Amino acid sequence: MKKLKMILPKLIMFLMSIMFIAPIWMVAVNSIKSKAEANLLGMAFPKDGIIHLINYFKVIEQGGILRSFMNGLIESTFSVVIIVLAASSCAYILARRKGKIYNIIFYTFIMGLIIPVAFIPTYLVLNKLNLVNTYAGLIFIFTTYGLPSAIFLYTGFVKTIPRELDEAALLDGCNCFRAFFSIILPLLKPVTVTISILSFIGAWNDTQIPLFFASGDHWALPLSVYNFYGAHEKSWNLVFADVIIIILPLVIIYMIGQKYIVSGMTAGAVKG
């Protein structure tokens, strides 16, 4: 009886983990089958014993993978750089200075976490600035919606860094900018890694912003699967190969940065 009590939760969890893995497995195994067999959506290895790697070559050839990959890389990387620099320096002042106005600024940023993107007026602003369907336009919007959580995390973190460091820098003749960039910013490294990963994934995975403000030639990988599916609806082998190529970069980021991702997502969830 006692043994059963020990094993039962483990068994339940094991079965549950299969529920999470099965879909991914189904995608992976069907991506290396022939078209006819893949369309049966089975879970077994290819019956003909051949690994149809040709699916992947076909997808790379037809799917515009490289273009979408570069789009995502450009948009996400630039957004991350701007978010990190703008948010950390802003949070430094917000964390250090006291006064009503700083509270108002902080909470205005936090509102960006709740309020959905005002698509139509944002479209008007981009239109007036000639930024519709440009990398710069997308980068600015990704940055805007990445700033709130970054400022939230940075402000909390800066508060844990003693003010004495600022004072020492002042005595050494540093101004605020130098003190921040040569002393404080390096100390923010753990939270910077977290914010970089989360903002990168956020921009990379976003569906609505590219859909509203750009056309297909500026989309990153995840959204390109939608067009690819539309064109190859009857060839699951190719669609799944496309899916695998698309999720692979994220799985790699996840495996490397798991610790940072989790620490960023749980900040504020527990009493610190």
Distance of CA 66 to the CA centre of its chain: 19
Binding mask 155-174 vs another protein (x if CB under 8 A, - otherwise)?
A: -----------xx--x----
Taking a C-beta distance cutoff of 8 angstroms, is the pair 233, 242 a contact? no
* Alpha-helical regions (H) of 63-188: 65-96, 100-114, 119-128, 135-158, 164-171, 176-179, 185-187
For the chain, the C-alpha Rg in angstroms (whole number) is 23
- 65 lies in the binding site for another protein (CB under 8 A): no
Considering the complex, what minimum distance in angstroms separates the CB of residue 119 from another protein?
A: 6
Measured CA to CA, the distance from residue 226 to residue 99 in angstroms comes to 48
Binding-site size for another protein (CB under 8 A) equals 94
What gap in Å lies between CA 166 and CA 7, rounded to an integer? 55
State in angstroms the smallest separation of the CB of 18 from another protein: 9
- The whole-angstrom separation of Cα 21 and Cα 16 is 9
Within positions 86 to 145, which residues make up the interface with another protein, using CB under 8 A?
A: 86-87, 89-90, 92-94, 96-97, 105, 108-109, 112-116, 118-125, 127, 140-141, 143-145
CB within 8 Å of 179: residues ≥ 6 apart: 165, 166, 169, 170
H or E stretch covering 101: helix 100-114
Q: Which is nearer to another protein, 57 or 254 (CB)?
A: 254
In whole angstroms, the minimum distance from the beta carbon of 57 to another protein comes to: 20
Site for another protein in 213-232 (CB under 8 A): 222-223, 225-226, 229
DSSP state, 161?
S
Smallest distance, Å, CB 52 to another protein?
17
Q: Which x/- pattern, by CB under 8 A, does the window 16-35 give for another protein?
A: xx-xxxxxx-xx--------
**Minimum distance from residue 15 beta carbon to another protein (Å):** 11
Choice between 52 and 92, CB closer to another protein: 92
Minimum CB separation from another protein for residue 222, in Å?
3
Pair of tokens at residue 180: 């921040």
Both tokens of 17, joined, read 């983990």
The one-letter code for the residue type at 57 is F
Site residues for another protein, window 179-208 (CB under 8 A)? 179-180, 201, 204-208
Q: Which is nearer to another protein, 66 or 120 (CB)?
A: 120
40-59: which residues touch another protein (CB under 8 A)?
Answer: 40-43
E strand residue ranges, 115-186: none
